[in-house]
Each structure stands twice: as C-alpha cells, then as structure tokens.
Amino acid sequence: MRSKVIPAMVLALGMVNFSGALFAHHGTAAFDTDKKVTLKGTVTEWFWSNPHCLLQFDVKGEDGKVVHWIGETQNPVTMTDGGWSKSSFKVGDEVTVALFPVKNGLPLGRIITVLLPNGKTLDAMGGTRTYK
Amino acid sequence: MLHRFTILIIVLVAAPVFSSLAFAQNERPRQPAAAQGQKAAAPKEQKSVAAPRHDISGTWAPANGPSDGIQANGVKAMPNDGKPEHQLPYTPYGQQVYKSHHALEGADAVLPGFFNDPRDKCEPLGFPRMNFYNLRETQILQNEYKIVMLYEYATTWRVIWTDGRPLPKFVDGGVQIGSEVKEPRYYGYSVGTWVDDTTLVVQTTGMMGEERVWLDTAGRAISDQLRVEERFHRVDHDRLEWTVTIDDPKIYTKPWVAMNKFPFQLEDPHRDVMEQYCSPSEMERYNKLFGNPSSEEGHGPQR
C-alpha cells in the first residue's frame, strides 16, 4: 500500500471545469475531479499503451522523501490527436504534472497537463475535444 | 468533314467526363491533401460537390472531430446519463440483463476494480457495438457484390452483401441461409440495398447473444434476437451520415434510434489510419499498476 502523501505533494489546488463524458475506457468514478494537483517530478517511465498510457515519475517532498506517482492518460490514438507521442518523455526528464488524484489517497491520478523541460505544455484533454 | 469534326468534339468533351467517373472513388477534389500522419482538419465552409451514385467508398473520419465517435457514455443518440429522455424501453428481462452489467461508464458506473465488461478482457466487441465504441476513422471499400468496412478499433472488419441475397431468418441455434443453419457470429450477417442514388439501407441479424456481448460501454444490453438497421446517406461527395436503429424484442419493447445521422467527413485517399488495439498483456499491466489500486480501500460497485 502506497502511503497517503497527497497533501505534502500538493503545490496548487484548484477547481476546474472537467467533463468526464469524453473518456472512453475506465471512466471517472475513481477520480476526485474537483481537485487539481500539481507536482514536480522526474520521469521514470512513459508507457505508451492501451487502454491508457501511463507516466511514472518520482516526486521529492520538502522532507526529502521520494514518492512514486503514476498518471494515466487516454489511449495512444487519442493522445496522438492531442499532439502527444511515444517519444514525448524520456527517463530523467524533469516535468510538472497537473492531474486529478484518485479518491482513495494513493499517488495515482488522471493527467490534465504536463509541462516539459523545454517549456512546452502537453494538454491531455487536447485529443478529446470535438469541433462543435 | 463535318462528321469528323463532330466526332472530334464528342471525344474531347467525353474524355474528361469518363476520366473523372473512373477515378471518382479515389479523388477528393475539394479537400487539401493531408500530410501522412496528420488527422483531418476541421470542416470548412465550402461549396459542396454532388455525391456519386451508389458509392460510399472512401476513408471517413468523424466530421465533428476525432472524439465525436468515442461514445464513452453509451450510444450517441441515447447516452446513459440518467436523463429521463434517455431511458431505454427495457423489457423486464432486458432490465435484468442490464443490471447484471457492471460498466465503467454511464449513470451506473462502477470503479475500475469492479467491472465485468467483456471489452476489458479484449473479447471481440461484436456488432453493433463496433459502431458505438471508438468509432473513428473508418475505411469503406466496395465492389459490385459487397461493401467492406474496416474499423480503426481492434483492426476489425465486416462485410455487407449487396448482391441481392436475402437477410437470414432466425431459427433455433442461429440463422437460416437457404437450407443451411449457420451459427451466430460476433459481427452477424449483413445485407444492403440501395433505396435511392445515395442511401444504402443495411439489415443485420445473427449476432452473439447477451451472454457474450454488450450494446455499448455504458452496459446497455442486446440479445440473440437483435435486428439492426443502418442507413448510410451520402449527403454530398465529402459527407456521409450514418443512422443506426436497434430492434430487439427480447430486450426492448420497441425499436429505438441509437445513432442519428452521425456525420463523417471524407479524408484524403492516401491517409494511413493508425491502429488502436486491445492487448491482454497491456490491459493486465494497466490494471495491476493503476486500475485495481485506484479502486482499493473499500470502494465497491456503485449500485
């Protein structure tokens, strides 16, 4: 069981508009979509896979303790529509991840955006929008 | 002399006309050629070109954007969002089957650790769920005998026969075709008829029963008594509308429309469609790392 350390990791909290209806696979029931958590961390793996891609990264708290986080995105096709790719991250990248955490307190969440080392921001919702 | 001149004029006029007809299925005259690997751009206001006769071939993408066909909350025209106008006309048995489905989406969604959607074991989605789950870029090929649809998700295909054969009849154990009884199939048996120059009506029967397949991602049910009608209407050269009606007397008290004039935009014929697959090993890893832990600590089904 992972430790419940979300409060220590939270750098910013905010209410955001979020529509879960566009997610195609595992739904939104597990997430606290009223809470946005922003974390600075180091990428340990970017797993480009179905049904969801997984970004694994380590976050060092103010006490020096490292917590391993996993953020999910949508599937590779949807992420490609939003400008992501299999090579979006490499191990060791310093990133800032905004996500909706799971409700049960584990260091897991659904990614909203990722700020890359080059200053570019990847939008995880970019591939879920329609033209309407 | 006059006769030769007349023939020459006829040839000069006819040549480009026949040339354009011969290549009608491969040309996309009003769309800028998309670069390989790029998605179709948002539709722009432009003068339409008439639809070709009896032809829905091409590579088609959702006209309102690549996500318009995901249908995460259930079928497009009747999402499972709890609104009274979207309640389906279940029979008592149909309601019972629906209640046995623990879906990850919709009004009765459960947490990721408690689903029983056959999709999540990478079972075949079957028809018509293919139309209601990640309906993305769809390639349609046709000749004088049949139309073949290549779906992006799970690299799945189906055949619609247009050679005049009748729709199979329901019998015990499957469907009857001529003197033969054939087994139910995930993608059923489809026959299509052109009802006018630009509208194809497709009837499908003989699908798997409720023990094997769901209708949509929100847990709606179908049975082996399902009959599906699809209408493909090519509005103009670059636009196709797709309507799907569900008729299943075992599950529903009356037919209802699940997808209503879903718009597709014709893509560049050179476009190379991505693959979207279901991999049991990737699914297992996802559930181990994320899906199951996210449902821990006493959370249970939401109903």
Cis peptide before A51 (omega within 30 of 0): yes
What is the reported pLDDT for A129? 66
Interface test with B, best of A70, A72, A131, A132 (most B CBs within 10 A): A131
- List of chain A residues whose C-beta atoms are within 8 Å of the C-beta of residue B277: 50
pLDDT in tens, A60-97: 999 999 999 999 999 999 999 899 999 999 999 999 99
| B86: its two tokens | 């979207």
B40 and B60 Cβ atoms separated by less than 8 Å: no
What is the pLDDT, as a whole number, of residue A4? 41
Q: How confident is the model at residue B35, as a pLDDT?
A: 36
Q: Domain extents for chain B?
A: 58-295
Is this complex scored with an ipTM above 0.95?
no
The pLDDT tens digits for B94-122 are 999 999 999 999 999 998 778 899 998 89
Is residue A131 included in any domain, yes or no? no
Give me the domain span that covers residue A17: 6-126
Residues on chain A touching B274 (C-beta within 8 angstroms): 76-77, 80
Below-70 pLDDT ranges, chain B: 1-46, 297-303
Does B72 contact A24 at a Cβ distance shorter than 8 Å? yes
Percent of chain A with pLDDT over 90: 67
Q: What is the pTM of this model?
A: 0.80
For residues B139 and B270, give the distance between their C-alpha atoms in angstroms, rounded to a whole number. 11
Residue of B nearest to A129 (CA): B67
Give all strands of the β-sheet with B169-171 in edge-to-edge order: B169-171, B174-177, B180-182
- Domain with residue A19: its CATH number is 2.40.50.140
Choose the closest CB to A29 out of B63, B110, B283.
B110
Taking the CA of residue B99 and the nearest CA in chain A, the distance in Å comes to 18
For residue B169, what pLDDT is reported?
A: 95
Best B44, B68, B70, B303 member to test A by mutation, with max A CBs in 10 Å, is: B70
What is the count of structural domains for chain A? 1
Is A82 inside any structural domain?
Answer: yes
Amino acid identity of B30?
R
Our CA-based measurement puts residue B256 at a distance from the nearest CA of chain A, in whole angstroms, of 22
Contact A114, A82 (CB under 8 A): no
Chain A hits for B134, Cβ within 8 Å: 24, 77
Cβ-based contacts under 8 A for chains A and B? 117
Domain-located, residue A59: yes
Helix (H, G, I), strand (E, B) or coil at B215: coil
Among A4, A6, A50, A129, most B C-beta atoms within 10 A, so best to mutate, is A50
Which chain A residue lies closest to B295 (C-alpha atoms)?
A: A30
Does residue A132 lie within any of the structural domains? no
Which residue in B39, B289, B302 is closest to A54 by CB distance?
A: B289
How far apart, in whole angstroms, are the C-alpha atoms of residue A55 and residue B135? Answer: 26
DSSP letter for B75, please.
S
Asked whether residue A115 is domain-assigned, the answer is: yes
Structure confidence at residue B34 (pLDDT): 37
CB B72 within 8 A of CB A22: yes
Cis peptide leading into B128, omega within 30 of 0?
yes
pLDDT digits (tens, 9 = 90+) for A13-55: 333 333 333 454 667 778 999 999 999 999 999 999 999 999 9
Q: Are B43 and A131 in contact (CB under 8 A)?
A: yes
pLDDT of residue B148: 98
